[in-house]
Every structure is written in structure tokens, then in C-alpha cells.
């Protein structure tokens, strides 16, 4: 998407674009070494997942009633963790912090002001970071034998968790597409993964709902118990930090350019 173009923007992005004569902020481009490392991480994670699936197929004679529960449990855990990480990066810290500020927090600040720029990111750029985090978990799980039911359950859970976790940013990107691939759209419509309408609620100021971006299954129950607001109050009580203060400053800076 060319800089300064406002057509096809989400309402939030279009509002910011109209208020500012300058182009909307963009995600940082990946350097070639960083992109190569991301590609290696994705390839390694995908290979390890395939190894685990092959191991589990070979051990299928030992499967019992707990298998679907372990699969679903892993998917729910991945969705919950995606929400916890998303909430943490949206809510706390400053993009001026050493290393993590520009590398990890800045993309979240940009994403609220210019969510459509996420669609500009390549597959490798989108999924490399998550793949890097998934690899050591899959490596550790490889050394768990599949003999006992408890061990088999753990490996199934971890494989499911990592499989969904690996797709988190890709599912997030699909949720921003007006026309995702047909299979993806079908999965969104049946509620198997995060859909566009559900995720659109997160992109309404103050960006404080629907943090879970893998399946999206955890959003309603977490909202029902006011989970993240309670957690914010606890953090503020302990540290004195105010939630989303850096995000507000970033958006204000964009508006007043």
C-alpha cells in the first residue's frame, strides 16, 4: 500500500490519516539477515511439528479418550497465551525502552494507528518471531517418551499448542484481510480461528478488548470475568504504572505531526 493512501483503510486508520498531513507510521522493514533467520525458524518449527505428528501417528495404538481433550486444551492454551502476550505489549512498557521498545513494542503501537500496514508484511516477516519461540518447546517435547498415557497426553497437548501458536500471527493477518483465502474464510465463519468481525472490536479505542488472536475462543470468557481489567488494576496497584499510557502518547504524536 503506497504511503499516504487512505482508501481501503480501517475506520481508525482512515481517521488518523485525515487528521495528519503526513503518512501513517509503518512497521519496520526486515533486514536480509533477520529475514533469513525468520525463514530458518519457520522451516525448523514446521519440520519439528511434522516429526511430532509422525511420532504421534506411530503411537496411535495407545490413543484413548483423552486425545481430543489434549488437542483442544493445547488450542485453548495457545489462544490464551496469545492474548496475554498481546495484552502485555499493548498495555505496558514504552517504545523508547532499550531493545524491546523498538523491536517488540513499536509494532504494536503502529498497528493500532495503521492496522492495514500489517497486510504489507511478508509471510516470513509475519511468522518468524513466533516460530523462533516455538522451536525450543518442540525440541524439549521430543525427548518425552510416548510410552505412558500421561506422557502421550503431554506431547499431544504441546504439539497442538505449538501448531496453533505457530499460526497466531498468520491468523491475525488473515483477520485483517477483507478477502482471505476461501479455506481461511470458511474456518473464520465457523469459529475455528479468529475472524475479521471479532478482531475488529479490538481496533476500537482504547484497544482494550479481544486480545486473543489465535482461535479467539478465550475472548468472551475472559471478558465475562473482566480478566484483563482486573490484571491491570493489580499491576497498577503494585507498580504504579498506568495501562496504555505509551500507546496514548504514540497516537497523540501521530495526530499532531
Q: pLDDT tens for the chain, 257 residues: list them.
A: 333 333 344 544 444 444 445 578 888 889 999 999 999 999 999 999 999 999 999 988 877 888 899 999 999 999 999 999 999 999 999 988 998 998 899 999 999 999 999 999 999 999 999 999 999 999 999 999 998 889 999 999 999 999 999 999 999 999 999 999 999 999 999 999 999 999 999 999 889 999 999 999 999 999 999 999 999 999 999 999 999 998 888 887 777 66
Map grid coordinates 498531513 to a residue: 21
Whole-number Å distance between alpha carbons of 257 and 252: 9
Instruction: Dump the DSSP string for 152-201.
Output: HHHHHHHHHHHHHHHTHHHHHHHTT-SS--HHHHHHHHTTSS--HHHHHG
The contacts of residue 104 (CB under 8 Å, 6+ apart) are: 89
Given this model, what pLDDT does residue 216 score?
97
Amino acid at each position: 500500500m503506497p504511503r499516504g493512501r487512505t482508501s481501503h483503510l480501517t475506520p481508525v486508520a482512515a481517521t488518523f490519516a485525515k487528521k495528519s498531513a503526513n503518512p501513517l507510521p509503518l512497521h519496520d522493514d526486515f533486514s536480509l539477515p533477520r529475514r533469513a533467520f525468520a525463514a530458518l525458524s519457520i522451516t525448523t518449527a514446521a519440520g519439528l511439528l511434522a516429526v511430532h505428528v509422525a511420532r504421534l501417528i506411530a503411537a496411535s495404538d495407545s490413543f484413548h479418550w483423552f486425545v481430543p481433550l489434549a488437542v483442544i486444551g493445547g488450542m485453548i492454551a495457545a489462544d490464551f497465551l496469545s492474548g496475554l502476550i498481546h495484552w502485555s505489549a499493548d498495555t505496558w512498557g514504552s517504545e523508547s525502552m532499550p531493545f524491546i521498545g523498538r523491536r517488540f513494542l513499536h509494532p504494536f503501537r503502529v498497528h493500532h494507528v495503521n492496522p492495514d500496514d500489517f497486510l504489507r508484511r511478508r509471510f516470513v516477516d509475519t511468522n518468524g518471531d513466533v516460530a523462533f519461540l516455538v522451536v525450543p518447546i518442540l525440541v524439549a517435547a521430543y525427548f518425552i517418551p510416548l510410552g505412558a498415557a500421561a506422557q502421550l497426553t503431554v506431547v499431544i497437548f504441546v504439539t497442538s499448542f505449538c501448531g496453533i501458536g505457530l499460526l497466531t500471527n498468520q491468523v491475525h493477518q488473515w483477520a485483517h484481510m477483507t478477502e482471505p483465502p476461501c479455506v481461511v474464510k470458511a474456518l473464520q465463519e465457523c469459529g475455528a480461528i479468529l475472524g475479521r468481525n471479532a478482531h475488529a472490536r479490538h481496533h476500537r479505542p482504547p484497544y482494550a478488548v479481544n486480545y486473543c488472536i489465535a482461535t479467539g475462543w478465550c475472548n468472551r470468557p475472559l471478558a465475562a470475568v473482566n480478566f484483563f481489567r482486573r490484571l491491570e488494576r493489580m499491576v497498577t496497584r503494585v507498580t504504579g504504572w498506568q495501562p496504555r499510557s505509551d500507546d496514548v502518547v504514540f497516537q497523540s504524536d501521530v495526530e499532531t505531526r
